[in-house]
Amino acid sequence: MKIDLRVPARPRAWLWILNALRTINAELIAGTASFPFLYYSPVVYRRESVERFATADQCLALGEEDCDSLSAWRAGELEALGWLAVFPFEDAHQWAAYYRPATIPARVVLTQEGPTAYHALVAYEIEGQTFYDDPSARLGMYGAVTPEIQELRP
């Protein structure tokens, strides 16, 4: 089923939607034993001409998405899988490996890139320390999938 949801072009409205997608993704990932980690999947970053907010399973089916849906997927897997979703190349890895939280509070955040341009990232916390992840940057926003992600993929 397709749903056409039209919202005002306001960052606050986008954050509500993206963090709702994070929650949907966390439930999907927690309830699907074989659901792949974003960084293991073949999904890559692609800029959209028309804004689309997609769940993780929709991203997987499309094979590509932009920063908002990728960040909602990544935040969802951190919430669903906790420390198991923090990779060795991430700044948070030592914290995650030490504290081993079963779930990691994560959210999609926006940075302003221009007068009307925004970029979505993931902010998450482990024992009071905040960390950031930029799945789009890792998945080709600046030209190519980064080496650490290429190593994870078959």
pLDDT in tens, 101-151: 999 999 999 999 888 889 999 999 999 999 999 999 999 999 999 999 999
CA proximity to 117, closest of 11, 13, 8: 11
CA proximity to 107, closest of 31, 23, 12, 40: 23
Look up residue 66 and give its two tokens.
Answer: 């932009």
Query: Residue 23: is its pLDDT beyond 80?
Result: yes
Query: Using one digit for the tens of pLDDT, what is the confidence trace for 55-68?
Result: 999 999 999 999 99
